[in-house]
Amino acid sequence: MATVIANGTVVNAADTFRADVRIENGKVTAVGNDVARPGDERVDAAGRYVMPGGIDAHTHLDMPFMGTTSSDDFETGTIAAAFGGTTTVVDFIIPEKGKSLQAAHAAWRAKAEGKAVVDYAFHCCLVEMAPGTLAEMDALVRDGITSFKVFTAYPGALMIDDGAIYAALRWAAKSGALIQVHAENGPAIARIVEEMIASGRTDPVHHGLSRPSALEGEATSRVIALAEVAQAPVYIVHLTCREALSAVRDARRRGVRAFAETCPQYLYCSLDDLARPDFEGAKYVCSPPLRPKEHQDVLWRGLAVGDLQTVATDHCPFYFRGQKEMGRGDFRKIPNGMPTIESRLPLMYQGVVDGHIGLNKFVDLVSTMPAKLFGLYPRKGAVAAGSDADIVIWNPERRTDLSASHMHMRVDYSPYEGRIVQGGVERVLVRGKTIVDSGRFTGHAGDGRFQECGAFSAK
């Protein structure tokens, strides 16, 4: 039996129009008028937007980190994603040093299979460049993993040197893959952290103050220079500040294929939150850190004009009690990460309401450009004939409360406690199956499928 979403307003990245959407066998088969047939299931979307499901291209589910593990696994995290209008997540495989990338891939597939309720794909982190690493990367590309993340931060743990980053970029230029970069000057930050701890500055706010925005800007400029010499595209993850954005903007203007994402927490939270009293600031510890409020308008402008291409979450939640509290008296021990997977679309739609971005730009940032950059388009990221029927029916009149008691993430707080935003999810379909309907979860663990990513091709 086919399903027809009738009377809605279809919103894609490039256009908005009134149309019905016909779905058969998990695919959109027609968008237009008179697409219904006798016996079709009919979903009335009058007064609603019919949009492609969100694609969150930066999540950390069931991830070991800093002596603990992120609190959302692939079941709880993707249920929360679905309630927030996200129908595909791209999570990060993090190999152990000395172990094969293929073994890490198998481990992350095992974490997701039978649990995820939305579709999922993977990036792979590169924590070392051993003699056989490039060959292993070739194998992962054949398996549908075409993006790889490197770190200029976390020396002694995740950081690799500039020569290794250059080697990865040169390989990517020939293989059709995309290198992502966590860009902060890790060695300099390590020195600043030592100085702060030695002088007794141990509160959560000093996590932010120990990682100055200038050092994010410097690292961003440096890796873009490496990419320019390597003639490779590069993608900066979780960009937070004007210095880093300036580096990306300048590179794009001279023809470098530089792309960047930011995250809702950098648009709505600030260094002031890190400075909350009674250790409450620990709830806002993430890396790179929250910045002073004046960076927020710069980021919104970057989104509006296309200097920033995507909005992801870096969703890496930890309970305040029992996990974040590990860092009382020493900010170095606070697990880095914030819960945002469910709040991303509501917060970004509020940007439409507030006039920061347009409706089509909203769809582009949260769905279409992530699909294009990571080899999922046009299967994902559009409401169009032939695309997967990953669809969000969005009610622009709904009010969405982002307080913890209204959210579905497995964590004991919300960074946006008490915030009520305009607009929200009414129904979510993944490959034609309704998994959220008017606030009820109607899906099942294991509904999500692994998605192979294609070669990088976005312009």
In a domain, 204, yes or no: yes
pLDDT for 406 equals: 98
Q: For the stretch 155-167, what's the b/e string if a residue is b when 16 or more beta carbons lie within 10 angstroms of its beta carbon? A: beebbbeeebbbb
Tell me, yes or no, whether 339 and 409 share the same domain: no
Tell me, yes or no, whether 40 and 63 share the same domain: no
Q: Which of 341, 373, 405 is the last residue of a domain?
A: 373
Helix (H) or strand (E) holding 190: helix 186-198
Q: Residues 450, 80, 361, CA angle at the centre, nearest 5°?
A: 80
Which residues are CB-neighbours of 281 under 8 A, at least 6 positions away? 203, 204, 205, 273, 274, 275
The pair of structure tokens assigned to 11 is 């919103």
* Percent with pLDDT over 90 in the chain: 99
Number of domains in the chain: 2
Residues of the domain holding 335:
53-373
DSSP 198: H
Tell me, yes or no, whether 192 and 87 share the same domain: yes
Residue 459 has pLDDT above 80, yes or no: no
Contact 424, 396 (CB under 8 A): no
Residue 457 has pLDDT above 90, yes or no: no
Which residues are CB-neighbours of 357 under 8 A, at least 6 positions away? 300, 303, 304, 348, 351, 365
pLDDT in tens, 171-218: 999 999 999 999 999 999 999 999 999 999 999 999 999 999 999 999
| Residue listed under structure tokens 């199956």 | 433
Helix (H) or strand (E) holding 225: helix 213-230
Tell me, yes or no, whether 334 and 422 share the same domain: no
Residue 458 has pLDDT above 80, yes or no: no
Tell me, yes or no, whether 368 and 394 share the same domain: no
Alpha carbons 209 and 189: distance in angstroms, whole number: 10
Query: How far, in Å, are 154, 289, 326, 416 from residue 199 at the CA level?
Result: 22, 21, 20, 32
Q: Tell me what the pLDDT averaged over the chain comes to.
A: 97
Tell me, yes or no, whether 199 and 244 share the same domain: yes
| Residue listed under structure tokens 């976005």 | 458
Sign, CA dihedral 320-325-327-330, equals positive
pLDDT in tens, 110-165: 999 999 999 999 999 999 999 999 999 999 999 999 999 999 999 999 999 999 99
In a domain, 450, yes or no: no
Residue 415 sits in a domain whose CATH number is: 2.30.40.10
pLDDT for 357 equals: 98
Tell me, yes or no, whether 80 and 216 share the same domain: yes
Q: For the stretch 442-455, what's the b/e string if a residue is b when 16 or more beta carbons lie within 10 angstroms of its beta carbon? A: ebeeebbbebebee
Q: Which of 324, 350, 373 is the last residue of a domain?
A: 373
pLDDT in tens, 51-92: 999 999 999 999 999 899 999 999 999 999 999 999 999 999
Helix (H) or strand (E) holding 272: helix 271-274
pLDDT for 347 equals: 98
Helix (H) or strand (E) holding 5: strand 3-11
Tell me, yes or no, whether 128 and 153 share the same domain: yes
Tell me, yes or no, whether 220 and 316 share the same domain: yes
Tell me, yes or no, whether 162 and 152 share the same domain: yes
Residue 211 sits in a domain whose CATH number is: 3.20.20.140
The pair of structure tokens assigned to 319 is 């309970």
Which residues are CB-neighbours of 194 under 8 A, at least 6 positions away? none
Q: What is the pTM of this model?
A: 0.98
In a domain, 84, yes or no: yes
| Residue listed under structure tokens 């009414």 | 426
Rg over CA atoms, the chain:
21
In a domain, 449, yes or no: no
In a domain, 452, yes or no: no
Residue 1 has pLDDT above 90, yes or no: no
Residue 297 has pLDDT above 80, yes or no: yes
Tell me, yes or no, whether 227 and 293 share the same domain: yes
In a domain, 138, yes or no: yes
Contact 239, 245 (CB under 8 A): yes
Which residues are CB-neighbours of 268 under 8 A, at least 6 positions away? 296, 347, 415, 416, 419
pLDDT in tens, 239-251: 999 999 999 999 9
The pair of structure tokens assigned to 292 is 């002073």
In a domain, 162, yes or no: yes
Sign, CA dihedral 266-272-275-277, equals negative
Tell me, yes or no, whether 351 and 409 share the same domain: no
pLDDT in tens, 343-386: 999 999 999 999 999 999 999 999 999 999 999 999 999 999 99
pLDDT in tens, 259-280: 999 999 999 999 999 999 999 9
